[in-house]
Structure 1
Amino acid sequence: MTAADVLLGRALVEEATKKSGIVWVRGSGSARALWHVWHDGAAVLVGDGPGEQPLPTGLEPGGAAEVTVRSKDKGGRIVAWTATVAVLAPHSEEWESAVGALKGKRLNAPDAERLTERWAAGCRVLRLTPGASRTDLPKTSSAAVPLPTTATTRRPVPAALPRLLLKRRRERN
């Protein structure tokens, strides 16, 4: 791989991640879709606290994470990159800078005026610094087993319903 390829890969990671509203992050378990902000050359995200997104397992300081970026308009995979995980200490200079960027992008916060205090008290702010990237598609399926849920699907339409609807339409005419 040439130096130009490395620079183009970094530029692709940065632009794709900046423009995407969410990224898929995999620690040691299954991947999760997470909202983020691109700040100072890394993806910054907040979670694992009250009222915030749950982070995937295995995102520990110094560890690695697999980040997959999707296209904002088509939803397809653009690039995947390996990240080094750093947990920012609350109220440190780096944390304050990251939280300032995150706060501007946080939608529908129930307590916008106390947001940073809540994040400092009960959430983790992570910085995912890009490493190696790749744009080739995987050879196997990336489909994951859906997470357990209590949601159900609609029951089948009763067989007599179409006749009843047609009968009402005829009576109106």
Structure 2
Amino acid sequence: MKQVHILLTIMLFSSVTLPVFAQQNNFIKDYLERLVNSHKYLILVAETMPENKYNFKASPESLSFAENLMHIGYAVDWHSQSLLGGRESRDWKTDAIFKVANKSKEEMISIIDKTFDETITLIKEFDTTQLDDELDYFGLNRTKRQIFLLLADHITHHRGQMLVYMRLNGLVPPRYVLFQ
């Protein structure tokens, strides 16, 4: 009788916990697919814009095409490595990696490529039991799951600005369908 009780307890526990773990693992799997495709699309956008248009701004107070690109890199690094991975944050004011400065188009694309690769590696190894852990996000409590979603939105927001800049320069952006 004791063995039946233990077996029933294990079965009940498994029926509750396994679906939760499967959902969390599916979230990471789905997120990685989206992030990998977002990475490919962003690189394609960056490669399509001519280097002599990288300083283009839609208005004086806007970020340039290059600044949007590097800002995406900084945000990917911060959200993943610092918020999700626990590494100390880079200081936007003093960090030179994600500043446009005198970087060439090729150098910027290389930095973005490396940053996404590091982020994809981190997310592949992410402990899904931390998805509900909360942290401070600009004074708001947000779960790590929400941090994943905020990062995806942020990439899309700035990439969208870059696509408009391409149109304003008479260029046709790469086709979006099938990338996300």
| Same-fold call, TM cutoff 0.5 | no
- What TM-score comes out, normalization by structure 2 length? 0.25
Larger strand proportion of the pair: 1
Larger helix proportion of the pair: 2
Return the structure number with greater relative CO, CA threshold 8 A, min gap 6. Answer: 2
- What TM-score comes out, normalization by structure 1 length? 0.25
